Amino acid sequence: MTPRTTPHHLTEHQHAIIGCGRVAANHVDGIRRVPGWGLAVACDRIPEVAADFARDHLIARTMADAQEVFAAPEISSVSVTVDHAQHAELTERALLAGKHVLVEKPICLDPAEGRRLVALAEHRGLVLSVVAQHRYDPVVLAVRDWVRRGLLGELLQVSVALQAARAKDYYQDSYWRGTLTGEGGSALVNQGYHCLDAVRWICGDVRAVAASCRTVAFADVIETEDTLSGLLAAGPVPVTLNVTVAGRIEWRSRIEVVGTAGSVVFDLDHPGRLQRFDGSAELVRLAELEQSRTPTEAPAGLSYYGVSHRAQIADFCHGVATGEPMLSSAGDAVGTLEAILALYALGGRRQPAAALTALSA
């Protein structure tokens, strides 16, 4: 897609991106689609990375130190798109500097810190949003609505699976991926995050019951897990979760929700699709309507990131401009982090073989 720039005198809100890596293009794309918003700064602690990114996306200024961004009075909001370990500190510093913050998932690596950030944003009257773009996918919103309206009857069980393929150099070439301190886990907290988060969004909060956490293919490269299976409960409803980044398929996710009056199977890949459905005439009617929706938009970044960064960023900008609450709150992102950490605790992140005992105990 051809990058679009908006002259500064036409933009009311100046946004900056901190961290010009893989996901940053989705933030440029999302901000540029919102009238009155402009991209003022590309910041990366590696100056050449910031310069290349700014050139590719026609961003006028680069900075190498986030502190420069925080000190710039014309910047009203920032995207924090760096490794997981720095989310807390950069988000806090941005909020203290009076900037609205859009931080990539997970909110941070410590739920107590996450709650502090949410409280700080509230206290300062600033918008804090944690990117979980699949919450805005039309298929996810549709299924959420059907579950809430009872169209599937009483829920019996939910299954969620992500199979992804990562190469060793995905970890070897990164300063943070595959490290406990930088990423805080891998298959679940990074890629599987979206599956678990979507289930919480659809079914409500979950409690971790058991987990098996293993490092099968990348044991010589990463400290974290490449494969995790878990059992959770959404109230009385059992939820099984299987995620791996050691598979052969680049990205395939699948969520199945089974109730007494109907069931649906869909995925979070792009385009998010309802694969199967069964139930009442009303459910079938709505599902067929959902099936007939033809997605026309191409994603800005990697295809499996989907197109919904745009919707979340538009919601973020609306929240900043109006003070109205966003569809999904940053506080809820703390809940997803807590569920992830509970699964890690049950699965024993660093002892692949021993982790299986959690399931047999």
Ligand X SMILES: NC(=O)c1ccc[n+]([C@@H]2O[C@H](COP(=O)([O-])OP(=O)(O)OC[C@H]3O[C@@H](n4cnc5c(N)ncnc54)[C@H](O)[C@@H]3O)[C@@H](O)[C@H]2O)c1
Residues that bind ligand X (CB under 6 A): 18-24, 43-46, 49, 66, 81-84, 86, 104-105, 131, 133, 174, 190, 305
Cis peptide before 3 (omega within 30 of 0): no
Closer Cβ to ligand X, 300 or 342, answer by number: 300
The answer to whether residues 29 and 17 touch, using CB atoms and an 8 Å cutoff, is: no
Shortest separation between residue 104's beta carbon and ligand X, angstroms: 3
Q: Which is nearer to ligand X, 68 or 278 (CB)?
A: 68
For residue 297, the 8-state DSSP code is P
Q: How far apart are CB 183 and ligand X at their closest, in Å? A: 8
Q: How far is the CB of 261 from ligand X (least distance, A)?
A: 33
- How is residue 61 written in tokens? 């200024």
- In the bound state with ligand X, the residue whose beta carbon lies nearer, of 24 and 31, is 24
Report d(CA 162, CA 328) in Å as an integer: 23
CB 140 within 8 A of CB 257: no
Q: Give least dist CB 152 to ligand X, A.
A: 27
Least CB distance to ligand X at residue 169 (A): 13
Which CB sits closer to ligand X, 90 or 320? 90
Residue type at 194 in one-letter notation: H
CB of 151 to ligand X, least distance (A): 29
CB-nearer residue toward ligand X: 6 or 174: 174
**Shortest separation between residue 97's beta carbon and ligand X, angstroms:** 14
Q: Least distance to ligand X from the beta carbon of 319, Å?
A: 18
Find the residue with minimal CB distance to ligand X: 21
Nearer to ligand X among residue 195 and residue 237 (C-beta): 195
Task: Supply angle C-alpha 241, 164, 349, rounded to 5.
Answer: 55
Nearer to ligand X, 146 or 344 (CB): 344
Based on CB atoms, which residue is closest to ligand X, 86 or 215?
86
Apex CA 326: angle with CA 23 and CA 342, to 5°?
65
**Terminal-to-terminal C-alpha distance of the chain:** 52
CB atoms within 10 A of CB 285: 10
- What's the min distance (Å) between Cβ of 302 and ligand X? 7
- Give the residue with the Cβ less far from ligand X, 211 or 268: 268
Bridge partner residues of 195 (DSSP): none
250 torsion bin: left (phi>0), alpha (psi -120 to 50), beta (else): alpha
Of 12, 33, 14, nearest in space to 76 by CA? 14
**What b-and-e string marks burial along 305-336, b requiring 16 or more CB atoms within 10 Å of the CB?**
bbbbbbbbbbbbbebbeeeeebebebbbbbbb
d(CA 13, CA 34): 10
For residues 55-80, b (16+ Cβ closer than 10 Å) or e, as one string?
eebebebbbeebeebbebeebbbbbb
